[in-house]
Amino acid sequence: MRIIDKERMSPKERVLTAFARQEPDRVPINYFANQGIHARLLQYFNLKPDDNDALLDILGVDFRVVAAKYKGPRLHAKKPGRNVDPEWGIVTRWIEHSSGGYWDYCDFPLKDADEEEIARWPMPSPDDYDYDEVMEQCHRYEKFAIGIGNPGLIDIINSTGMLRGMEQTLIDLATGNPAGLLLIDRKLDIQLEVTRRTIEIAKGKIDFVWIGEDLGTQNSQMISLDLFRKHIRPRHQKFIDIAKKYNLPVMIHSCGSSSWAFDDFVEMGIDVVDTLQPEAKDMQPKYLKERYGDRLAFHGCISTAGPLAYGSVQEVINNIKDILDIMMPGGGYCAAPTHLIQDNTPVENVIAMYETIHKYGVYR
């Protein structure tokens, strides 16, 4: 079974056309999901548990992400009852719920650390990544729009909070605490060099860079615009400048009410905004399209906490059609869930989502 029909553009052409705020043959499509619903989709299509590429092909997904995988030593010891990230030392614990479970951040080993302790905290070297594998991945996915990065690339507030706790991270930013800023900069320096080397080794095969920074709650800004401009924007700019050196568009993931920063995004050279939670303040599709559609492309907007999870198949179809009606005109829209599709989502709703995009997301 295949959802997609004959198409006039390659996935790579389609995505880059949309990123340039022009109309492709159809709306580009992306997919990401929690492991529970992902496993059920694989089973639905009679695929092997690890046949992820086959599922993406069936759904007509136009994007692929490549990465230089970590190959260095374990820098942080394992702990009973915890999952400890070997590179950065982030600690999580498994929390079960009625439809599955998730890894929740805990312990926050650098919460009370001073500059000296943070300076000693083991971190990976940019030499500890397999850059040769990147070229192999690029060859495998050459017809697709190939990105590097993800919502966790940069991601100053969240990723620092994983080690230091969210409260202390926000205090660090508000007060300019040298310890917190040192942690941020140590991590970003490594990420920046890994990003640069990955682009270099790919020799023109990369199509875009994906970064992230959650800037809003459901109802308001998480930080002030002044604080964003003081501590967040200049650090993001280094990554954007690297991308622009190689003429690559930049997509930023930002959860919650984040449109208050979109004017700055444009000035920084960001091309595409990802997530677009429609239930958050000032994030409704019509508002975004009318206010920013001439300056930014969009990726997301299909809520994982709306009809997709809780509605009927017909409600999913109606929701997708409404979003397409608003976001498609003039181009510049890529259809994708706002976050990972959650485990409480019915398989038939996911299938309806992708079938509807393919049926109604075509430019005539």
pLDDT per residue as tens digits for the range 127-163: 999 999 999 999 999 999 999 999 999 999 999 999 9
Average pLDDT for residues 10-18, to the nearest whole number? 98
What topology does CATH give the domain 11-360?
Answer: TIM Barrel (3.20.20)
pLDDT in tens, 310-364: 999 999 999 999 999 999 999 999 999 999 999 999 999 999 999 999 999 999 8
Is the pLDDT confidence value at 4 over 70? no
Q: What percent of the chain has pLDDT over 90?
A: 96
Question: What are the residue boundaries of the structural domains of the chain, listed by start?
Answer: 11-360
pLDDT value, residue 317: 98
Is the pLDDT confidence value at 186 over 80? yes
CA distance 256 to 258: 6
pLDDT value, residue 17: 98
* DSSP H or E run through 191: helix 178-202
Looking from the CA of 90 toward its CB, the CA atoms found within 13 Å total 16
CA 341 to chain centre: 13
pLDDT value, residue 239: 98
Mean confidence (pLDDT) of the chain: 97
Residue 1: pLDDT band (50, 70, 90) is very low
Average pLDDT for residues 25-35, to the nearest whole number? 97
Is the pLDDT confidence value at 293 over 60? yes
pLDDT in tens, 57-88: 999 999 999 999 999 999 999 999 999 999 99
Instruction: Could you list the beta-strand ranges (E) of the chain.
Output: 63-66, 69-70, 83-84, 91-97, 100-105, 129-130, 145-154, 208-212, 250-254, 272-275, 297-302, 333-337
pLDDT in tens, 265-287: 999 999 999 999 999 999 999 99
Q: List strands edge to edge, sheet with 145-154.
A: 63-66, 145-154, 208-212, 250-254, 272-275, 297-302, 333-337
